[in-house]
Amino acid sequence: MAQFLQQLSNGIVIGATYALIALGYTMVYGIIQLINFAHGEIFMVGAFGGLALYLYALPESVADRGYMLPLVFLAAILTSVIVAIIVERFAYRPLRRAPRLAPLITAIGVSIFLQEAVRLYFPDAKSARPFPEYISKRNVGIGGVGLPIVAIFVIVTAILLMILLQTFIKQSRTGKAMRATSQDPDTARLMGVDTDKIIVITFAIGAALAGVAGVMQGLQFGQISFSIGFTAGIKAFTAAVLGGIGNITGAVLGGFTLGIVEALATQYLSSTYKDVWAFIVLILVLVFRPSGLLGERVATRS
Amino acid sequence: MTLATAAGRLSAQVQARLNGVWRPVVGVSSALLLVGSLLPWLAFSGYPGQLKSAFFLGDAGVRNYTLLLAIGCLILAFTDLPGARKAGLAVSAGALAVSLGTFLAVLNERGGLGAFAIGIILALVGSIGALLGFIAMPAGREPGRPRRRPTPIEILFVVLAQIALLAVVVYTLDVGQNDEERSSRIIGFFLFLIAVCAALNAVGVFGALSTLYRRHRGVTMVAGALAAIAFPFLISQVQDGNAYWIRVAAYIAVFAAAAIGLNIVVGQAGLLDLGYVAFFGVGAYVAALLGDARLTTSSVSLPFYLVIVVSAVAAAIFGVIIGAPTLRLRGDYLAIVTLGFGEIFRLVAQNYDDLTRGPNGISGVPNLKIGSFDFGESHTVLGTKLPYFANYYFIELLLIAFVILVFSRLGTSRIGRAWVAIREDETAAEAMGVNTIAMKLLAFAIGAFLAGGAGAINAHLATQVSPDSYTFLESVTLLAAVVLGGMGTVPGAILGSAVLIALPEKLRTFQDNRLLFYGIALILMMRFRPTGIVSSIRRKLEFDDADPTSGDAVTQAPAASHGKGMVTP
């Protein structure tokens, strides 16, 4: 039982990162029906943005101090958001009315480009780079389960952000505009919503969450590399679809489900096939609920 | 946006100043560019293309391209071609890019202006002048529909176009292969090629050609097939029997066969498959296991004509197994499930050591033997020594011919029409009595069958199969080949495969930056040609149909729409 709880909490920690990235996927999908394959790369770029601040901008004497962490987060968020806005403006926006699959290929091109740009032009990024340990990895026991402090931090931050996002989308004027655009962009425009601006804001919010997730990844695993975006991207996309793509609560639910399934399967089934279980669960869920756990609308545009 | 507005304002100023005198400006500038191209560019030797000597004494290097572009400028300025302004802009900008690129590269390498000779200065001044002149040129008429000419002449045009395409391909592959430092010349050539393509497009040559191709389908196909057959002979002649590009061509052909298969699934039936490479992998693994490989886990050995059928059928069965439970999913849900299956296939191949030998894969797959014909031997045909990869290339051409046959017969059949109906509107198709599940399953199985066959040949060509050849990225590349070439068209899938496989090979000269450029190339190609290189008529109509006024204003000319976007009638 203790072991089960342990794995369950490990799964929740992994799931929190997945969920944060999945939110970006699902929001962008919800609003322009684009599978933004470059989103995993935005997450990676964010992590490197945070690392760059630590390495090159902060004075060495204080760079390691815990109170610098908010600055690192800020740098990561800024990097992710700026890159995402540039990508949206120059790669996706010109293709808004192109056939459905064209932006998908563009997204893949962007993904390759960002990965390679970091690998080649971030100093020494060809192999993994260590990430500063701002938050201790020391275990604390909670009800028979040992969790590192950093893991608790990750879960709490992720949940706070999700509540914040939920409130923003439900309550704010911009959130309302976002929902309107996702339901019917043409009508939204007629009602005076600047849809182009809303799309940019959506990209930016998704990117900010991905940037936070990037730093969290660094804090948890102690290192980041140019290739982390790819796997995380695929997993997060899986999570988004699992929950019902386009649905924000669904993305969170999907992220946590995927994380927990992975952790439990690694423990009880076979660790070599860890990723296989994640996909099998996805397939099983979709066979019985063809539009994901919480999805209602079925995407038919092709 | 500010950059675009600034450029817009600048161009308006230029237009005002040079209004009326644009033609002499272009004429004088092009003449400068032409003369500059003939004179020495650099004061030192050793730079690729020997830019130190005058044009006719030895290798002209990138000056070949500026010279041709200068002639292009003159033609465009003094004849009354439709679309001449756009074409002129492309040509002069291309000349500027080539000369400025050389200038900056040398400046960066040598530092100081002492390295340059008079030619490059003239070329720079000339290309800038020509660019300004074309900016000031009035827009003129757009290219219209091509006139109908007598059939033999039209056929002649088609054949000449195919020959030109072949020549361009061979030249593109050959350029810079022997230079010491080849990247500068390859960049120069690509800039030239882009400029020429843009110009030909602007004056309506490509549009006219595609009309001709459509009118004379049979001739186009025969000429294309002959060009494909001639390719290994030509490239062997040009490169003295160097096997490199023939090997690449053999891979392209395998890839193209699979891409046409994917085209049935994605282009015809509209099922987005992100794990297609798994079928290719199943075929390859089955062929390797049955093909008497050196390091393998099975002792079965079958003749190849059986192996290829077994592999294709195995892949088709795999396709049905995947498809049966998942095909009621729609759109992107199906995409992620296929992605999942693709990853599952790769992970199982990587971990199920008893059958697949894990990450090492099955290696030492022997060269093909059909009857007494050994594919591992090179042959001399018509006085040209063909490397042994050419054997594979030719058998793949046969495979492609078969795939095209399947594709075109199915495409116009009841089944093909059912697929299109499903792609356009699944609910409506179902209401009209189309058995959607069965039809989707059939598309999946046929696509898988074709990929399996291609995979079987690939196992022998690559002499090994291992899990890292069947990653998500490979699936994506296949999909990109289909989309880039033009969804739902056969020539598109072939062209797309050729570009996507040959481009990274050609970019090898940039070593580390190779993938970076590849990513940029994908983005740019989609930006400027979102319907693909060869867009099917159907798609074209749909695309042009989609809100021609606001859509085009937004996508085509972001600079122009700025500032007057709020004007309402």
How many angstroms separate the Cα of A293 from the Cα of each of A236, A297, A299? 15, 12, 14
CA A36 distance to own-chain centroid: 11
Q: Is A101 in contact with B266 (Cβ distance < 8 A)?
A: yes
Token representation of residue A156: 């709490």
What pLDDT, on a 0 to 100 scale, did the predictor assign at position A87? Answer: 92
Predicted TM-score (pTM) of the model is: 0.78
Cα of B473 to nearest chain A Cα, Å: 9
- CB-nearest partner of B516 from A91, A113, A238: A113
CA angle A282, A285, A290 (to 5 degrees): 105
- CB-nearest partner of A245 from B332, B351, B487: B332
Amino acid letter, residue B449: F
Q: Is B333 in contact with A103 (Cβ distance < 8 A)?
A: no
Q: Is B333 in contact with A292 (Cβ distance < 8 A)?
A: yes
Taking residue B164's Cβ as centre, other Cβ atoms within 10 Å add up to 12
Which residue, among B326, B332, B425, would best test binding to A if mutated, counting the most A CBs under 10 Å from its CB? B332
CA pair distance B320, A158, nearest whole angstrom: 41
CA pair distance B23, B84, nearest whole angstrom: 12
How many angstroms separate the Cα of B235 from the Cα of each of B74, B185, B220, B278? 33, 19, 22, 33
How long, in residues, is chain A?
302
- C-beta separation of B196 from B71 below 8 A: no
CA pair distance A287, B327, nearest whole angstrom: 9
- C-beta separation of B253 from B396 below 8 A: yes
Cα of A149 to nearest chain B Cα, Å: 33
Which residue, among B336, B436, B515, would best test binding to A if mutated, counting the most A CBs under 10 Å from its CB? B336
Chain B environment of A120 (Cβ under 8 Å): 512-513, 516
- pLDDT, averaged per 10 consecutive residues of chain B (569 residues), comes to 71 70 78 78 66 62 80 80 80 83 77 72 82 77 74 82 85 70 74 84 78 78 83 76 78 87 84 86 86 68 80 90 80 79 84 74 72 67 72 83 82 84 84 85 88 87 81 83 80 84 75 78 80 62 42 35 32
- CB-nearest partner of B351 from A241, A272, A292: A272
Q: Which residue of A has its CA nearest to B473?
A: A108
Sign of CA dihedral B143, B145, B150, B156: positive
- CB-nearest partner of B519 from A112, A241, A279: A112
Q: Is B337 in contact with A97 (Cβ distance < 8 A)?
A: no
Q: Which residue has the tokens 């007057």?
A: B564
Q: Is A302 in contact with B272 (Cβ distance < 8 A)?
A: yes
Cα of B140 to nearest chain A Cα, Å: 26
Which residue, among B333, B472, B528, would best test binding to A if mutated, counting the most A CBs under 10 Å from its CB? B333
Amino acid letter, residue B255: F
Chain A environment of B423 (Cβ under 8 Å): 302
Q: Is B337 in contact with A96 (Cβ distance < 8 A)?
A: no
Cα of A225 to nearest chain B Cα, Å: 17
CA pair distance A164, A126, nearest whole angstrom: 36
Cα of A39 to nearest chain B Cα, Å: 15
CA angle B352, B355, B358 (to 5 degrees): 45
Chain A environment of B480 (Cβ under 8 Å): 105, 108
What pLDDT, on a 0 to 100 scale, did the predictor assign at position B555? Answer: 36
- CB-nearest partner of A238 from B266, B336, B531: B336
Cα of B172 to nearest chain A Cα, Å: 23
Long-range contacts for B545-548 (Cβ within 8 Å, ≥24 apart)?
A: B546/A97, B547/A97
What pLDDT, on a 0 to 100 scale, did the predictor assign at position B2? Answer: 65
Long-range contacts for A264-271 (Cβ within 8 Å, ≥24 apart)?
A: A264/A4, A264/A7, A264/A8, A264/A11, A266/A7, A267/A3, A267/A7
CA pair distance A285, B12, nearest whole angstrom: 59
CA pair distance B159, B165, nearest whole angstrom: 10
CA pair distance B471, B374, nearest whole angstrom: 31
- CB-nearest partner of A99 from B472, B487, B523: B487
Amino acid letter, residue A156: V
Chain A environment of B333 (Cβ under 8 Å): 241, 245, 286, 290-292, 298-299
Cα of B513 to nearest chain A Cα, Å: 8
Q: Is B523 in contact with A299 (Cβ distance < 8 A)?
A: no
Strand partners, B386: B379
Q: Is B340 in contact with A290 (Cβ distance < 8 A)?
A: no
Terminal-residue alpha carbon distance, chain A? 47
Residue B31's contacts (CB-CB under 8 Å, 6 or more residues apart) are B70, B74, B126
CA pair distance B502, B251, nearest whole angstrom: 9
Total CB pairs under 8 A between chain A and B: 150
Chain A environment of B484 (Cβ under 8 Å): 105
Cα of A154 to nearest chain B Cα, Å: 27
Q: Is B343 in contact with A275 (Cβ distance < 8 A)?
A: yes
CA pair distance B382, A27, nearest whole angstrom: 62
Q: Per-residue b/e over A277-296, b at no fewer than 16 CB within 10 Å?
A: bbbbbbbebbeeebbbbbbe
Chain B environment of A290 (Cβ under 8 Å): 328-330, 333
Q: Which residue has the tokens 């020495």?
A: B40
Q: Which residue of A has its CA nearest to B519?
A: A109
Classify B363 as helix, strand or coil. strand
Complex ipTM over 0.90: no
Cα of A20 to nearest chain B Cα, Å: 19
The pairing of beta strand B362-363 with beta strand B464-465: antiparallel
pLDDT in tens, chain A (302 residues): 777 888 888 888 889 999 999 998 889 888 888 888 899 999 999 999 999 988 888 777 777 777 788 899 999 999 999 999 999 988 888 888 777 778 888 888 899 899 989 988 888 878 888 888 888 778 787 777 777 888 888 889 889 999 999 899 889 999 999 988 888 888 988 998 898 899 999 999 999 999 999 999 898 888 899 888 888 888 888 888 888 888 888 889 999 999 998 888 888 877 777 778 878 888 888 888 877 787 765 444 43
How many angstroms separate the Cα of B134 from the Cα of each of A38, A170, B37? 38, 53, 20
- CB-nearest partner of B332 from A97, A275, A299: A299
Q: Is B519 in contact with A113 (Cβ distance < 8 A)?
A: yes
Residue B107: name the closest of B38, B50, B179, B184 by CA.
B184
Q: Which residue of A has its CA nearest to B532?
A: A102
Cα of B386 to nearest chain A Cα, Å: 36
Q: Is A300 in contact with B341 (Cβ distance < 8 A)?
A: no
CA angle A145, A147, A148 (to 5 degrees): 160
Element (H, E) at B214: helix B205-215
Strand partners, B281: none
CA pair distance B385, B261, nearest whole angstrom: 32
DSSP B298: -
DSSP A267: H
CA pair distance A233, A44, nearest whole angstrom: 9
Cα of B195 to nearest chain A Cα, Å: 21
Chain A environment of B479 (Cβ under 8 Å): 101, 104-105
What pLDDT, on a 0 to 100 scale, did the predictor assign at position B372? Answer: 66
CA pair distance A220, A132, nearest whole angstrom: 10
How many angstroms separate the Cα of A27 from the Cα of each of A71, A301, B336, B400, B499? 26, 17, 17, 42, 34
Token representation of residue B337: 């499930």
Cα of B122 to nearest chain A Cα, Å: 34
Kindly report, residue by residue over B387-437, the tens digit of the pLDDT. Answer: 777 777 888 888 888 888 888 788 778 888 888 888 888 888 888 888 888
Continuous H helices in B239-330: 244-263, 277-290, 304-326
- C-beta separation of B205 from B212 below 8 A: no
Terminal-residue alpha carbon distance, chain B? 24
Amino acid letter, residue A56: Y
Q: Is A117 in contact with B516 (Cβ distance < 8 A)?
A: yes
What pLDDT, on a 0 to 100 scale, did the predictor assign at position A49? Answer: 93
CA pair distance B181, B2, nearest whole angstrom: 38
CA pair distance A100, B394, nearest whole angstrom: 35
| Residue A138 burial class via C-beta count within 10 angstroms: exposed 0-12, middle 13-18, buried 19 and up | exposed
- CB-nearest partner of B333 from A96, A276, A290: A290
Chain A environment of B336 (Cβ under 8 Å): 237-238, 241, 282, 286
What pLDDT, on a 0 to 100 scale, did the predictor assign at position B561? Answer: 33
Token representation of residue B538: 């159907």
Residue B258: name the closest of B335, B339, B188, B315 by CA.
B315
